[in-house]
Chains A and B, each alone.
Chain A
Amino acid sequence: MKKFIAVLLTLTMAFSGCAALAEGVMTHAEYVAAAIDTEVVVETYVQAKQSWWENKATVYCQSEDGAYFLYEMACSEEDYAKLEQGTKIRVTGYKAEWAGEVEIVDATFEILEGSYIAQAQDMTALLGTDELIAHQNEFAAFKGMTIEKVEYKNGQPGDDIYVTASVGGQSYNFCVEVYLTGTETDVYKAVGELKPGDVVDMEGYLYWYEGVNPHITSVTLVK
């Protein structure tokens, strides 16, 4: 009887999951399996907006089953204003890869009913493992990281900040992406003041640049 109920529940969830997706819309697993340069259609939720200009928006999105990075998606300024955290959108574009970052480019979108805001998942233990890339672009937390180096991209405030932090004797690269945070934000200022030896908790999006390179959105000094 238990087995029967379990199978029934599984089938119900599977069918309801399918029903929730319009025809042609991919699950995250299908998106992952799709080849680079093929057309993809996904439904997902806006988590953070990185930039807009000349009718192009760059956006971090996440669903319950995985995350997406939408690079320079066609978007009017008016529509960009409607893209609030949690907004559900259907995205049609091409899967691409730039320096290891898998993203959707040349995309268009439409706003749908629904909302979802992802909570940062602690991925400290996954750093340095092959498993980490399965979470690419997700909202992640890294705890107890020891700062080794903080460098402004061009030597002074105004551009990206490159952060090297370690845990368990291994060093990892992080970035405060200026297009995402701006220079007047708490995170930009706080990271700029970090010193080697500081221990911090960080949150951000699991971006990739020639390896994992999370884009930090918040930092808390632990000691």
Chain B
Amino acid sequence: MSRGRTALLAVALAACLALLSGCHGRKELGAFAVPDAFDTTRRHEITFWAKNDTNMTQVAIYEEAIASFESLYPNIDVNLRLYTDYGKIYNDVITNISTNTTPNVCITYPDHIATYLTGTNSVVPLDALFADAQYGLAGSALRFDSPGQEEIVPQFLQECMLEGSHYAMPFMRSTEACYVNKTYVEALGYTLPDVLTWDFIWEVSEAAMAKDAEGNFLINGQKVMIPFIYKSTDNMMIQMLRQKQAGYAGEDGEIQIFNDTTKALLYTVAGHAGTGAFSTFKISSYPANFLNAGQCIFAVDSTAGATWMGCDAPLIDISEEKLVDFDIEVMMVPQFDPEHPQMISQGPSVCVFNKEDPQEVLASWLFAQYLLTDDVQIAYASTEGYVPVTTQAQQSERYADYLRRSGEDNDAHYSVKIDASRLLLEHTDKTFVTPVFNGSASLRNAAGQMIEEVTKSARRKKTVDEAYMQALFADMTALYRLDQIETGGSAEEEDLGALPAASAALLITLAAVWCAMGAYVLAQAIRKKK
């Protein structure tokens, strides 16, 4: 069981990428221009790096999509490489940008693309392709029914806009949900409100900590109970700050997270972590496993994790004898202002990498666009609590039928999964995204890490006070290099200035070594001739 652990490596790799881009040592690609026509007489082999949620149905859908696409375009072969972790894709892409060996098409997050853009012309801006009359969205020369640009949910498409251009297309969208053990909430004497609030969750969670004389929790009769577990603590911090209208980041990359609201939120988290009422995935494990074992009441995870939630879930990671029967409710993440709820929009997007051969790029674009067809959209969205990103798919009779059949079975029509999708479908207008810039992925990691740190410290009975907060802010700034993020434009546009002395020395040394190696090879060649 490999746990996610890629964030720091990505920070280091991103720094390396910036250095490589700055030193102009590698061959750079020219800007992509859409060819007049797609050459069907030539074979194209393209690679597609995709992410699945450790869900083999999703793998099967990717494979089916590729097979269907290849039957329409017999001169294009698509090679699928699968990942189960966005961070790993990010790391591998960064590593491959420096050697011009990126995939052709890649599932990604806009935060990550912002870093990819550090490589000159690495990622193809899609606007010209969108608009191309033949091969663009709903283009006349396409061999499949593609949506028009106006049929991509505008909010989702907007998330893919960086530096004034679309560098990606949305593939699927999800949000976070709070999966609630309603049975336990009511057993504790509470009634679920229409919209969960943070105060409600903290109060119920503390109430659930009561134990009997033998140390068993009264609510479940077990030795283990963590009432509130959050999977992605970066989202937790980001959503809390947004709901509080507090600073996180400016559109230009200004770091605003180290503020008094953040401190206040961290004190609250520490208080409840200290009693044992709150924990995180990184510290304790998957919220779903605790929820299904009757050891958690409020489990916050992606709607794309809905098939793991509940005692009747189609995907279960704990043994059958540990499962506890309970009524589950799928709710919006907790709010500070329930009248004006706000929740994060997330989910995979797809980008196209540039190559020397524009025909290869065009082939890549055709495949990327194929992923927006109804067949792929509806099939993939139905694997988890995702929603399709096109209105064409969302409004189709096929998708409506899928939603209507909620609860018909505990597999394809598992009610928790469909409830999770409905949560986003009905509240898309309440979703938001964070600013994207080169370094926004690091800021996101820092946001989550602060919650992890105070949670661990509180559990270890350490003092969490002003001095602690100051040290924590300084540590996060240094660890994630947040003081090195450039604001107000891309690295490409900025004057990089003089190289640091150490970097200059390194480059001079490298040049000297290459010269020495060259001289040696030359000398050997001359000696052989003699």
Contacts and interface: CB of A to CB of B under 8 A. Distances in A.
Interface of A: 37-39, 53-54, 56, 72, 94, 96-99, 106, 153-156, 158-160, 175, 177-179, 207, 209-211, 213
Contact of A96 (B9, B283, B289): B283
12 contacts: A38-B460, A54-B8, A54-B11, A54-B12, A94-B460, A154-B54, A154-B83, A154-B84, A156-B59, A158-B81, A210-B317, A211-B319
B9 A53 contact: yes
Majority secondary structure of chain A interface residues (helix, strand, loop or mixed): loop
Contacts of B286: 99
Contacts of A39: 460
A37 B319 contact: no
B134 interface: no
Contact of B1 (A106, A156, A175): A175
B503 interface: no
B1 A177 contact: yes
A178 B2 contact: yes
A96 B456 CA distance: 10
Interface of B: 1-3, 5, 8-9, 11-12, 52, 54, 56, 59, 80-84, 283-286, 289, 317-319, 322, 456, 459-461
Nearest to A152: B82
Residue among A153, A154, A179, A213 with max Cβ neighbours from chain B (10 Å): A154
A154 B1 contact: no
B229 to A, nearest CB: 12
Contacts of B284: 97-99
Contacts of B52: 154-155
A109 B304 CA distance: 39
A56 B9 CA distance: 10
A54 B480 CA distance: 12
Nearest to A177: B2
B318 A37 contact: no
B5 A72 contact: yes
A37 B84 contact: no
A72 B449 CA distance: 15
Given A96-B283, A179-B2, A210 B289 contact: yes
A115 B2 CA distance: 29
Contacts of A158: 81-82
Contact of A210 (B2, B9, B318): B318
A106 B455 CA distance: 13
Nearest to B461: A37
A62 B322 CA distance: 30
A38 B459 CA distance: 9
A81 B52 CA distance: 34
A159 B5 contact: no
Nearest to B318: A210
B84 A99 contact: no
A49 to B, nearest CB: 15
Nearest to A94: B460
A153 B286 CA distance: 17
B82 A155 contact: yes
Contacts of A98: 3, 283-285
Given A154-B84, A155-B82, A177-B1, A99 B283 contact: no
A216 B519 CA distance: 49
Contacts of B11: 54
Nearest to B282: A98
A129 B167 CA distance: 55
Contact of A156 (B82, B319, B456): B82
Kindly name the residue among B2, B284, B322, B456 whose own CB sees the greatest number of chain A CB atoms within 10 A. Answer: B2
Contacts of B322: 210
A167 to B, nearest CB: 17
A191 to B, nearest CB: 15
A155 B3 contact: no
Contacts of A94: 456, 460
A178 B322 CA distance: 28
A153 B459 contact: no
A99 B82 contact: no
Contacts of B8: 53-54, 56
Contacts of A211: 318-319
A160 B2 contact: yes
A106 B318 CA distance: 27
B319 A155 contact: no
A50 to B, nearest CB: 10
A13 to B, nearest CB: 35
A79 to B, nearest CB: 17
